[in-house]
Amino acid sequence: MSKRQFILGMLASSLLGGLVVLLGISFFGGTETVNGSFSLNRSNSVATSFGTISDEPHDYSVPAGVNFIEASRKIVPAVVHITNREEIKGTSSRWRRLLRNGVKFRESTGSGVLISEDGYITTNYHVVEGADELEVRLDDNRRLKAEIIGADPDTDLALIKINAKGMPYIDFGNSDQVEVGEWVLAVGNPFDLNNTVTAGIVSAKARNINLITGNTDNRYGIESFLQTDAVVNRGNSGGALVNLQGELIGINTAIATNTGTFSGYSFAVPSILVKKVMDDLLEFGEVKRGLLGVTIRDADGVGTVELSGVRIMGVSPGGAADEAGLKEEDVITGVDGKEVKTTSQLQELIARKRPGDAVSISYKRKGDDRETSLKLQNRESLAAIDLAEPELIFEKEDGVSENTLTYEIAGAVFEDLSSQLKKSLNLEGGVHLSQLGEGAWKASGVKEGFVITKVGDDDITSLEQFQKIIDTKTKDFFVMGKYPNGEKEYYRITW
């Protein structure tokens, strides 16, 4: 066969094959078209529509225990946006030039949660602090004025009210029943983004971050936060933390951050404490808090054989704990049958009570398990005998009799600087370690006679100020100062 014949044969075969394919398509597939739709079997068609969007509800199932949708539907309408307007008093000419239309208010915003149908709202104290005017924006965008019913800086909570009826509201859940690892939702207004819902899990319970107790002016502060990894940012404060049943289990209060924005952990006041504070503010306009009359720290094996519980560092003479027979170095392990492992847990459990309430205390004394009961006192009745108040003793200096206030804690006795020490060390303030016994101070290596001029970053000016700062310390801290010979030193105190 010649080359020419071979090529002609190939062309004929190709034409015959193409004809067979076309006939097959016509016979088996047809050339049917579908008007108004995009059909894959029309290679030469032009699209005129991409179909329609169905109005039918989605037919899907959510795995048990992770249904965020129902909880979100319940909670979102009951979370409000709060604007705090504080009047700028004594406005300088520079400020007046910056202000427009004569407005002399500075604004801050946060969140709140409706807890009754007649307009009561729980939020953080720091959201409404200093407010001359409060405005609440509801989920339906209505804006209403609000008044402060009461506030409690000790827990950073406040109760406010709007004049409204038939409000959607959230039921309180039981924060004691919340488990680490449980799914939770945070709802609030971060960066003024209304009603934002985020999800996470409970990371820890009864967490103390020294947000409230770190304030030296607030020695009765209570911190026992629920820690979560639900995203919370500026503006979320006062908003809701809920479980997947849509029940309020906490009020979002703070974040752990070095940047000012969310870095992985947020903290909420647990709902049982929130409800107690709200009930007190509604009934009395203030919080009625029962007190044990003790100074405490975690029992973590330092200075005691107990690795868990709350170690009593001092007992107020005549206080509730003293009357019940509790003593220094006892370790509290339970309250009303609930296990206590940390100071945060103990503070929260006692903070739920009112003065006069009977409380059962489980504790250990030198390893032996014991129990006692007591009636809590109020702040006023304890004030006159509080251990934290310096004891009055008498001392002679240069042959002149004078009254000297002292403060004793963890085996050390401190007093204000004498005029002679101030002069010799060229100091304006500080405290003098006058007596040193067994305890945390001696363990640090400090010696009698040391003059403390600084605790952490705080300059010490007086015994009273020193006492307030030390009473807030629950972890390691540093002190700096001088000995009477002028030698400078610093020590790490381990509680």
If one compares 147 and 94, the residue with the highest pLDDT of the two is 147
User: Considering the chain, what is the average pLDDT of its residues?
Assistant: 80
- Nearest-angstrom CA–CA distance, 413 and 433: 6
pLDDT at 191: 87
pLDDT at 491 over 90: no
Question: Which residue's structure tokens are 């924006």?
Answer: 137
Domain locations in the chain?
Answer: 73-162, 294-383, 391-493
Question: Which residue's structure tokens are 């609030």?
Answer: 188
- Nearest-angstrom CA–CA distance, 150 and 14: 93
Task: Please confirm, yes or no, whether 398 is among the known catalytic residues.
Answer: no
pLDDT at 188: 94
Task: Please confirm, yes or no, whether 401 is among the known catalytic residues.
Answer: no
pLDDT at 420 over 80: no
pLDDT at 20: 47
The closest alpha carbon to 354, from 279, 297, 425, belongs to: 279
- Nearest-angstrom CA–CA distance, 14 and 89: 95
Catalytic site residue from 237, 316, 344, 434:
237
Task: Give me the mean pLDDT over the 291-309 stretch.
Answer: 82
The closest alpha carbon to 409, from 447, 448, 436, 444, belongs to: 436
On whether the 73-162 domain is CATH 1.10.3720.10, my answer is no
Residue pLDDT, tens place only, 45-74: 444 555 556 566 655 566 666 779 989 999
Catalytic site residue from 81, 126, 154, 224:
126
- Nearest-angstrom CA–CA distance, 36 and 213: 69
pLDDT at 392 over 50: no
- The hierarchical CATH code for the domain 294-383 is 2.30.42.10
The closest alpha carbon to 124, from 98, 100, 89, 160, belongs to: 160
- Do you know the residue count of the chain? 495
pLDDT at 263 over 80: no
Give me the torsion for CA of 224, 127, 122, 76, rounded to 10°. -100
If one compares 276 and 419, the residue with the highest pLDDT of the two is 276
pLDDT at 31 over 60: no
**Exposed e or buried b per residue across 188-200, where buried means at least 16 C-beta atoms within 10 angstroms of its C-beta:** bbbeeebbbbbbb
Residue pLDDT, tens place only, 162-216: 999 999 999 999 999 999 999 999 999 998 888 899 999 999 998 887 766 544 3
- Give the bridge partners for 362, in sequence order: 334, 371
Instruction: Report the relative pairing of strands 331-335 and 310-315 from DSSP bridges.
Output: antiparallel
Which two tokens mark 488?
């400078």
- Nearest-angstrom CA–CA distance, 156 and 124: 5
Instruction: Judge whether 294-383 and 391-493 match in fold.
Output: yes
pTM: 0.65
Q: Phi and psi for 7 in degrees, rounded to 5?
A: -65, -45
Task: Decide which of 3.20.20.10, 3.40.50.720, 1.10.275.10, 2.30.42.10 is the CATH code for 391-493.
Answer: 2.30.42.10
pLDDT grade for 262, boundaries at 50, 70 and 90? confident
pLDDT at 116 over 90: yes
Catalytic site residue from 81, 152, 154, 156:
156
What lies within 8 Å, CB to CB, of 364 at 6+ separation is 306, 309, 330, 331, 333, 370
Task: Please confirm, yes or no, whether 237 is among the known catalytic residues.
Answer: yes
* Percent of the chain clearing pLDDT 70 (strictly above): 75
C-beta of residue 38 within 8 angstroms of C-beta of residue 217: no
C-alpha distances out from residue 89 to 86, 94, 130, 131, Å: 9, 13, 12, 13
pLDDT at 359 over 90: yes
